[in-house]
A and B are shown apart, each in its own frame.
Chain A
Amino acid sequence: MVHFERDMANVQRVREPRAYERFRCIGPECEDTCCDGWGILVDEATYGKYQNPALPEVAGKVLSTLVEINPARTSSGDFARIKLEGTRCPALLDGLCAIQKTLGEPYIADLCSMFPRVVSITGGVLERSLHLSCPEAARLVLLDPDAMRFEEREGDGQPYRAGSVVLLANDVPDDSVHRVRSLMMEVIRERSRPLWQRIVSLGCAIDRIADMEIERAAGVMEDHLRCLRTGALDELLLSQKGNPALQLETALELIVARLGADYTSPRFIECYREFMLGLEWNAKSSMEELAERYQGALRTWFLPFVREHEHVLENYLINYMFRTLFPYRKKRPDQRFAIDSSRESMKNAYLLLATHYAIIRALLIGLAARHREQFGPGQAVKLVQSYSKAFLHSGTFEKTASEFLDRNGEELTRKIAVLVMD
């Protein structure tokens, strides 16, 4: 049961990455827009406001005609939806929201008022993060090496609408959850090992702490990090075998599955087209030829980029881990979230983190092949942002990815190693 006022009253601390406070919507200057390319849900209270016949017209339209009740609603938060014009919100005018411009911020939906900000409460701590599906947020998080350093302070600081805050659980020990997650982020930052080894080693850690009480898991994670640093995991990590053809096949299967499932914004399609051109993929290509070009681009263009800009992919992963309360957050059937330390839930969380990384990495390798000497952080930001908009907000992709990878039924660590190994 959610008690917003009570849970907000219990908030004692705020935790956020440095990038959060720096974020400002750039409105018409944005190269994408959050008012185009996906469904826009409207909460019940905002829907109710729009039914007032005394309201002035917005963008030449009666406000109540811009929304409809959502047939797939599960709560007051997704009660209604904007009736899109093609792919766009009909209230988008000159890069700005005509509802906000005409009536003020209280008249826009909870989700619109927050995006790309994500605010959640766990164990009395309010956490604030950013969706990378916003270009400005992606720039702030990915380009600054210190963007994902965390700041924590007493208090809350500002009022929130009830529908804008994700309440995860107030009865879990924040200190333990945060300690485990921080140690996992330290694994991702452990630059004595290549990034693929850090990701694979996370799978070993998940295996050790799955089904364990969260209070005990931090000690195991400390031991895991020590093992990674001292080389105790080297035998396992160095025995892994990469498979470029399988990496490509898996990425292509999952990308095509997503493209066929729902509308995809032109920005991602542009990136995907460049990936295809980079690998010189045409109707006559064999997988051996593609894999050879992919491996060549990996060595010649992608790995030098990663060495020069290590923080880009690290910050992507850390942002994902922080925003999703990795590895403990689980999406329930009613689309709300819960804390879950069961093996099945944690394995699924890890599999998704690694799969998203594997697809992004594969796409970046193709982009690196396309842009060669010119390949740099700008292309990486565009790819991660457009990928996030298409894949991380999809209502079907997670299930598709889990089912696809489960078909191979092998041990998790080896499976992920095959997909992410350089």
Chain B
Amino acid sequence: MPCPEWQESPMTESERGNRLLELYRSSEAAIRAAQLAHGGNRIGTNLIR
């Protein structure tokens, strides 16, 4: 049975570039927070289970 291919992102090149930059900034922020141990109070649903 023929299957349609996964659609490419509906975003334009410019939008994809902006999204990549957002992801980069979020990643950098997460790394900084971890290095400063700011994340401590945010433990929520990640559990030993």
Contacts and interface: CB of A to CB of B under 8 A. Distances in A.
12 contacts: A37-B43, A41-B49, A261-B44, A262-B46, A264-B34, A269-B34, A272-B27, A282-B24, A335-B49, A410-B5, A413-B3, A414-B4
Contacts of B16: 249, 287
Interface stretch (A143-151, A180-188, A308-316, A390-398): A390-398
A418 to B, nearest CB: 5
Contacts of B25: 283
Interface string B1-43: 0011111110000001100110111110011001101011111
Interface centre among B20, B35, B46 (most CB of A within 10 A): B46
Interface stretch (A57-65, A252-260, A356-364): A252-260
B30 A38 contact: no
A241 interface: yes
Interface string A380-422: 0000000001100111100000000000111101110010000
A40 interface: yes
Interface residues of A, number: 54
A283 B21 contact: yes
Contacts of A389: 46
Contact of A414 (B5, B24, B26): B5
A395 B25 CA distance: 25
A101 interface: no
Contacts of A41: 47-49
A269 B20 contact: no
B1 to A, nearest CB: 9
Interface residues of B, number: 32
Interface of B: 3-9, 16-17, 20-21, 23-27, 30-31, 34-35, 37, 39-49
B24 A281 contact: yes
A241 B25 CA distance: 30
A263 B40 contact: yes
Contacts, number: 126
* Closest CB pairs A-B (n = 7): A395-B45, A411-B3, A86-B40, A259-B30, A263-B39, A269-B34, A39-B47
A87 B49 contact: no
A38 B6 contact: no
A353 interface: no
A418 B20 CA distance: 19
B6 A418 contact: yes
Given A40-B48, A393-B48, A414-B6, 18 more contacts: A39-B48, A41-B48, A86-B41, A87-B37, A111-B48, A111-B49, A243-B6, A246-B8, A249-B20, A252-B20, A256-B26, A262-B42, A264-B46, A266-B34, A390-B46, A409-B7, A410-B5, A413-B3
B7 A410 contact: yes
A283 B18 CA distance: 10
A158 interface: no
A390 to B, nearest CB: 7
A265 B24 CA distance: 19
A87 B5 contact: no
B16 to A, nearest CB: 6
A39 B6 contact: no
Contacts of A272: 27, 30-31
Nearest to B44: A262
Contacts of A394: 45-46
A34 B47 CA distance: 10
A410 B46 contact: no
A112 interface: yes
B11 to A, nearest CB: 10
Contacts of B7: 408-410
Nearest to A111: B48
Given A256-B26, A259-B26, A410-B7, A87 B40 contact: yes
